[in-house]
Structure 1
């Protein structure tokens, strides 16, 4: 326990940084159900490695005219948009995936999920869910 704390404080021996462009990333945890707690989604995720960084992705639908504004606000928290199909759906909303690398636990997952839901709602959109990716 002391060794793990020592490594965390001084950054030695931890997992390597995660490159979002890696081609071997797979979804290890996800939830697209508003009623499901992040803790429940992470508990049922068999392949999720808690001490390793993940590529956390939030799946939003936003009006096309608001995409740049939403992206700029999310960038303040370290999120970047992933390439997606920029065509609007039947509801007139464009899919937007915002992603960032972080260590994930139930508390931080819930905080980010709430933040993204609020961001989407303030810009007349929807937060459909989230997923977390790690190397296969």
Structure 2
């Protein structure tokens, strides 16, 4: 199993355009290794007052909410950039389902989504 903190991880799939299907993002990801675990990261901006509630909701399904990620540049003073991450195998169905879930979470909490990406170890990294 990989760890979200593994320094050998690198971004292998990027899906920052919400109009693009997850299947298309995965199809153009030359370095993605299907069938192997990856760290799936959803980039969100949320109001500070809602971050702990969102963290608790996500933790129930194995997600971790950390500061940072995309959206920091346009979050302003009212929204904080966070990244929801979890280790899992990637496929188009689950990426789409989780994107919808994150969009709903952001909407309910007065935030925004900024897409998702996934990381896997580079070639030759110890697994």
TM-score normalized with structure 1 length? 0.83
Flag the structure with larger Rg. Answer: 1
What stretches of structure 2 of length at least 5 have no aligned partner? 123-127
Give RMSD over aligned pairs: 1.8
The residue that corresponds to 2:51 in the other structure is: 67
The count of residues paired between Structure 1 and Structure 2 equals 120
**1:78 aligns to what SS in structure 2?**
coil
What stretches of structure 1 of length at least 5 have no aligned partner? 1-16
Separation in 1 of the partners of 2:75 and 2:62?
27
Indicate whether 1:117 and 2:103 are aligned.
Answer: yes
Measured after TM superposition, the shift of residue 19 of structure 1 is 1.3
Measured after TM superposition, the shift of residue 127 of structure 1 is 1.0
Separation in 1 of the partners of 2:119 and 2:19?
22
TM-score normalized with structure 2 length? 0.88
Greater RCO (Cα-Cα under 8 Å, separation 6 or more): 2
**1:120 aligns to what SS in structure 2?**
helix
Change (3 A) 1:91 1:36: farther
Separation in 1 of the partners of 2:68 and 2:101?
21
